[in-house]
Structure 1
């Protein structure tokens, strides 16, 4: 059956095998409200299970970017799905929403079921970490569009929050303290610059170990998954009045922090107040990149920032510690209208 379609580059049987392989991974993401809809035309979720009075749905969508090129080179595909989830769920978390479900989209040049399974395993791992259900997805085999060993991954997340509990900076004020949560490394941003500097300009070997990285394999360091902040931050929602939050992604500090501020407000950020992973020094050294540009591209070790009243700092950090999350006092809200990154 479908022999001509197979000759055109689309293997339906491989597609069926991929679906069979991923079902167990999808199953472990089931949460309250998730309905059995894998294989249906649309993913279903029963929002009434959460008993919201005035629910607001907050949506986010993103991909993994050219970090995928590192995964191809390393032939490692089991964590890239975590990145796809993280980039979406961390964004909806900023507005006070609990991620409730996720859908993925995987486009491939040729369907390799064992690779699809590894990608979806990562997606499921990310969903488990963020307590969101994987309720559907799509795999598209697109010969000629992609190389036979290449693929692209994107995701779509929906979160929900009571309207009265939305985080929209309405309570933000000058003097609020910034508490930062550390990143796990480069996360999923700036990889076009990373690849240019390390591999195109300096011809480094992603499979090699480097003393500057404590003898770790470079490719493994770069593939470290994006940190998912959902559980520790969510643990604060009913206990601390968080005035505003920011997910530090592409555009680094100078583009992302202003998104949490009111007009006319600024921040000071002390970069010595939080640890800087060695991978950033490695990239900066090989690329001879100016420090300001580094902070305008990468998270530099700070993946998530929240603003609280000075009186709530100790309580906030104590609760985060109880949730297993390190945190640092990294700065304050000002009236300068500028992002002042001090290094």
Structure 2
């Protein structure tokens, strides 16, 4: 089928014709009148300066507002340093923040998600950068978001090195925004965890999640708000809290306890249980010819998941393919060191479960 011809252009010969086409009495325009208020954004940058400073490490050389963030790593700590990076967004969990008018937790979400993603390769997080885009600049909302990001950075031990506040009128719905995060970490080449050391007989430790984290929200919102007719302020007895408070629980960060574990214990593989659940994320670290058996009933499933399953009559396979189902991070360890590794993590305040083992077979997860 031949391509469509381009539309005919209407020629306007000079500025006088443009002026005649312009509404009579139009006032002088500014960028602010077009929907982008640079002065408001500059005031917000001043408000967040001390918040951002609270995350700085000694390696940070630049200040808030610099064109680029400067970070001088202490390479002498590493024999052969390898940088590890990741980028992600909060996704439709933001819709809950909009409904609740609560914006100081989604920043924790994005930091934790990014940090956990590089943790699986054994990386220490160094610095984080954010991107906030909204239809119109709302200083108070931006400050809340940055407060959450800073809290997440302090918990993970990384610096908030910089970011971008984009005001995009006509692109986003009024009152809504998008939040994206980028992380850079470092690991010694010889200490990279890529799953290549996983062997049959290794045991699989599951670290508890505190809820949905940041995945499965499109299905959760459909079930809770459209099918069940609840709203964010509905108190649900089985949850012990409101729907909104349950859904805004911040994504948990596993960096500090797991990095301490890696200093003294052999860990053959780590998987962050995000979109795709245990079913899709564990195979990402398994070598060819190696499978995993996950034993159902070996860990506590938070009440939000049975509630969602009941509301929508969701098949169990779909639940495990969509949600983390109570396991936020998986560690694969040698069988003989598993009890000590669990004990170490539990002393750090983690809730751990022995949820399965590594077997010979297809590169997939079998639930037994």
Q: TM-score range by the shorter chain?
A: over 0.9
- State how far apart, in whole Å, the 2-side matches of 1:168 and 1:213 are: 37
- State how far apart, in whole Å, the 2-side matches of 1:32 and 1:243 are: 32
1:3 Cα deviation from its structure 2 partner: 5.9
Unaligned 5+ runs, structure 2:
1-27
Name which of 183, 197, 217 aligns with 2:209: 183
Matched, 1:106 2:102: no
1:198 Cα deviation from its structure 2 partner: 1.3
Q: Contact 2:127 / 2:161 at 8 angstroms: preserved in 1?
A: yes
- State how far apart, in whole Å, the 2-side matches of 1:90 and 1:285 are: 30
Q: Contact 1:98 / 1:161 at 8 angstroms: preserved in 2?
A: yes
Name which of 254, 275, 290 aligns with 2:300: 275
- State how far apart, in whole Å, the 2-side matches of 1:224 and 1:285 are: 21
1:319 Cα deviation from its structure 2 partner: 1.3
Name which of 156, 162, 167 aligns with 1:130: 156
1:254 Cα deviation from its structure 2 partner: 1.3
1:201 Cα deviation from its structure 2 partner: 2.6
Q: TM-score, normalised by structure 1?
A: 0.97
Name which of 270, 290, 294 aligns with 1:245: 270
Q: Which moved more, 1:316-325 or 1:275-284?
A: 316-325
Matched, 1:290 2:300: no
- State how far apart, in whole Å, the 2-side matches of 1:201 and 1:288 are: 11
1:37 Cα deviation from its structure 2 partner: 3.1
> What residue is the counterpart of 2:284 in the other structure?
259
Q: Contact 1:235 / 1:323 at 8 angstroms: preserved in 2?
A: no
> What residue is the counterpart of 1:55 in the other structure?
81
The alpha-carbon distance between structure 1 residues 281 and 165, as it changes in their structure 2 partners (threshold 3 A), is: same
1:336 Cα deviation from its structure 2 partner: 2.3
Q: Contact 2:103 / 2:141 at 8 angstroms: preserved in 1?
A: yes
1:49 Cα deviation from its structure 2 partner: 5.6
Deviations 1:186-226 (A, max 9, x none): 00001111111111233211111012212x11101000000
- State how far apart, in whole Å, the 2-side matches of 1:211 and 1:171 are: 45
Q: Say which SS state the counterpart of residue 6 (structure 1) adopts.
A: coil
- State how far apart, in whole Å, the 1-side matches of 2:71 and 2:203 are: 37
Matched, 1:316 2:326: no
Q: Say which SS state the counterpart of residue 124 (structure 1) adopts.
A: helix
Q: TM-score, normalised by structure 2?
A: 0.90
Q: Say which SS state the counterpart of residue 272 (structure 1) adopts.
A: coil
- State how far apart, in whole Å, the 2-side matches of 1:180 and 1:168 are: 18
Matched, 1:64 2:86: no
Deviations 1:119-156 (A, max 9, x none): 01110111111101000000000011012210000000
- State how far apart, in whole Å, the 2-side matches of 1:247 and 1:50 are: 29
Q: Contact 1:35 / 1:135 at 8 angstroms: preserved in 2?
A: no
Q: Say which SS state the counterpart of residue 47 (structure 1) adopts.
A: coil
- State how far apart, in whole Å, the 1-side matches of 2:58 and 2:365 are: 41
- State how far apart, in whole Å, the 2-side matches of 1:330 and 1:129 are: 27
- State how far apart, in whole Å, the 2-side matches of 1:77 and 1:170 are: 40
CA RMSD in angstroms, aligned pairs only: 1.3
Q: Say which SS state the counterpart of residue 154 (structure 1) adopts.
A: strand
Name which of 218, 221, 233 aligns with 2:258: 233
1:315 Cα deviation from its structure 2 partner: 1.4
> What residue is the counterpart of 2:189 in the other structure?
163
1:13 Cα deviation from its structure 2 partner: 1.7
Q: Contact 2:75 / 2:81 at 8 angstroms: preserved in 1?
A: no
Unaligned 5+ runs, structure 1:
none
Q: Contact 2:202 / 2:332 at 8 angstroms: preserved in 1?
A: yes
- State how far apart, in whole Å, the 1-side matches of 2:51 and 2:359 are: 46
Q: Which has the greater radius of gyration?
A: 2
Q: Say which SS state the counterpart of residue 32 (structure 2) adopts.
A: helix
> What residue is the counterpart of 1:21 in the other structure?
47
1:271 Cα deviation from its structure 2 partner: 2.9
1:62 Cα deviation from its structure 2 partner: 0.2
Q: Contact 1:248 / 1:305 at 8 angstroms: preserved in 2?
A: yes
Matched, 1:40 2:66: yes
Number of residue equivalences = 340
